[in-house]
Amino acid sequence: MTTITIREHQSTDSGFTATLSFDRRVNYPIAITDPFTPKQEQNLEWYFEEWLVFPQLGTVKAEQAKESVKGYGEQLFEQVFRTNIDAYSEYRQIRGNLSQLQIEI
């Protein structure tokens, strides 16, 4: 089983610095920033905390928030795995067996 570890090191003005490692071998430095604006974050908060209680209201806004979750995840993936070609290469080697993957944050 492969273990991906993301370890935070220091806060920054826009997020934090961290290291990414596969099975605790090489530590790849990464920087994580919030992929969304405060307004987009508010929409996600509304969607997950309020809309689910009253799903008959704000259906258009809810659909937009739901669709934005995919982009949010993709942007975080880019920040973690795609900023270093060697880290992305390691990810590509294990991506065919994700059911045997453990993630530590």
Domain boundaries, the chain: 2-104
DSSP bridge partners of 61: none
Q: Determine what percent of the chain falls in helix, strand and coil, rounding each to the nearest 5.
A: 50, 25, 25
**pLDDT greater than 90 at residue 87:** yes
**pLDDT greater than 90 at residue 20:** yes
Q: Which region among 27-31, 54-58, 92-96 has the lowest average model confidence (pLDDT)?
A: 54-58
**pLDDT greater than 90 at residue 78:** yes
pLDDT for 75 equals 95
Axis-axis angle for helices 59-81, 38-46 (nearest 10): 120
The token duo for 91 is 């990810």
The token duo for 1 is 């089983």
User: Using an 8 Å Cβ cutoff, are 76 and 35 in contact?
Assistant: yes
pLDDT for 42 equals 93
